[in-house]
């Protein structure tokens, strides 16, 4: 079984976020980048298939040379080969088109992507990718088993879980539950050294245009000052909730 894991290069959630050029561009200065957490769950599940079923695992990213350390980390975790599509990830549709070309050229049986990246939270790439390559699709996937050319997938739905059976090729949008946080792997020294020798192939982007663009970013409003109301002064509390907080 050939597995392709889609890797997003995203800011660490502890990074301080700023914007430049009139709040139209993300400021990368001083920002630490990591593997998108939803993708990391998928990569760990792919490693399970590699170890238990002898699958091969490739990772792919759409981005510039600055994303290669993130791909190297995926190689250090255990992926066999990394592929970088040499293009700026402008929007979800553009990324999906680039990933579709890689998927079709590689003839992959299973493609695992995160259900969304934690930077833009678009949540559109896995579904678009499945449509472009004509594969089955399961989103918000929290459980996955593969037996030959058949797969059993469990996904999260409102109020519960849904389990379905399907066939390969399959695209899944994974998240926490596909594996648990305790199962995530930290590259060891041996893995880091081996990653230096593993292939990281750079391919040029296909002739595809973006379907959307970001016009402006805006930070959330800062938290306001806290007002303390005496426990016995219910009239003042009700008045503040009505006139200032406007929640009643």
Residue 142: predicted pLDDT:
96
**Is pLDDT at 248 greater than 90 in this prediction?**
no
Half-sphere exposure of 34 (CA within 13 A, CB side): 15
pLDDT for residue 208 = 85
Domain 2-216 is of which CATH architecture?
A: 3-Layer(aba) Sandwich (3.40)
Question: Is residue 131 predicted with pLDDT exceeding 90?
Answer: yes
Q: What would the DSSP string read from start to end of the chain? A: -EEEEE--EEE-TTSPP-EETTTTEE--TT--EEE-HHHHHHHHHHHHHHHHH--EEEEEEEE-GGGHHHHHHHHHHT-SEEEEEES----HHHHHHHHHHHHHHHT-SEEEEESS-TTT----HHHHHHHHHT-EEEEEEEEEEEETTEEEEEEEETTEEEEEEEESSEEEEE-TTSS-GGG-----HHHHHHHTTS-EEEEEPPS---S-------PPPPPPPP----TT-HHHHHHHHHHTS---
Instruction: Indicate the pTM of the whole model.
Output: 0.87
pLDDT for the residue 6 = 97
- Does the pLDDT value for residue 105 go beyond 90? yes
- Mean pLDDT score across all residues of the chain: 93
Strand partners, 230: none
pLDDT in tens, 55-78: 999 999 999 999 999 999 999 999
CA distance linking residue 134 with residue 70, whole number of Å:
29
In angstroms, rounded to a whole number, what is the distance separating the alpha carbons of residues 136 and 126? 11
- Per residue in 157-200, pLDDT tens? 999 999 999 999 999 999 999 999 999 999 999 999 999 999 99
- For 101, the token pair is 């070309």
In this predicted structure, which of 50-64, 69-83, 207-221 has the lowest mean pLDDT? 207-221
Binned at pLDDT 50, 70 and 90, residue 15 comes out as: confident
Least reliable range by pLDDT among 150-159, 168-177, 222-231: 222-231
Q: How far apart are CA 47 and CA 30, in angstroms?
A: 31
Per-residue confidence (pLDDT) for residue 25, from 0 to 100: 87
Mean pLDDT throughout 83-89? 95
Quote the pLDDT of residue 82.
97
For the chain, the domains span 2-216
Q: Which pLDDT value is given to residue 203?
A: 96
Could you give the percent of the chain with pLDDT greater than 70? 100
Tell me whether residue 243 is exposed, middle or buried, using C-beta atoms within 10 angstroms of its C-beta: 0 to 12, 13 to 18, 19 or more: exposed
């Amino acid at each position: 079984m050939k597995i392709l894991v889609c890797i997003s290069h995203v800011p660490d959630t502890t990074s301080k976020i700023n914007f430049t050029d009139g709040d139209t561009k993300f400021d990368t200065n001083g920002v630490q980048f990591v593997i998108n957490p939803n993708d990391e769950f998928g990569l760990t599940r792919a490693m399970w298939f590699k170890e238990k079923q002898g699958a091969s695992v490739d990772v792919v990213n759409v981005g510039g040379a600055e994303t290669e350390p993130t791909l190297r980390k995926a190689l250090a975790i255990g992926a066999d080969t990394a592929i970088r599509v040499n293009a700026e990830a402008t929007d979800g549709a553009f990324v999906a088109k680039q990933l579709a070309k890689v998927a079709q050229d590689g003839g992959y049986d299973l493609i695992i992507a995160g259900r969304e990246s934690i930077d833009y939270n678009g949540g559109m790439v896995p579904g678009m990718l499945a449509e472009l390559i004509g594969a089955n699709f399961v989103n918000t996937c929290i459980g996955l088993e593969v037996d030959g050319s058949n797969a059993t997938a469990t996904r999260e739905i409102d109020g519960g879980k849904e389990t379905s059976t399907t066939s390969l090729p399959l695209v899944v949008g994974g998240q926490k539950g596909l594996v648990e946080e305790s199962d995530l792997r930290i590259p060891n020294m041996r893995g880091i050294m081996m990653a230096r020798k593993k292939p990281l192939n750079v391919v040029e982007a296909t002739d595809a245009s973006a379907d959307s663009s970001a016009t402006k970013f805006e930070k959330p409003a800062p938290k306001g000052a806290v007002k303390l109301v005496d426990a016995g002064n219910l009239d003042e509390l009700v008045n503040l909730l009505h006139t200032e907080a406007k929640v009643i």
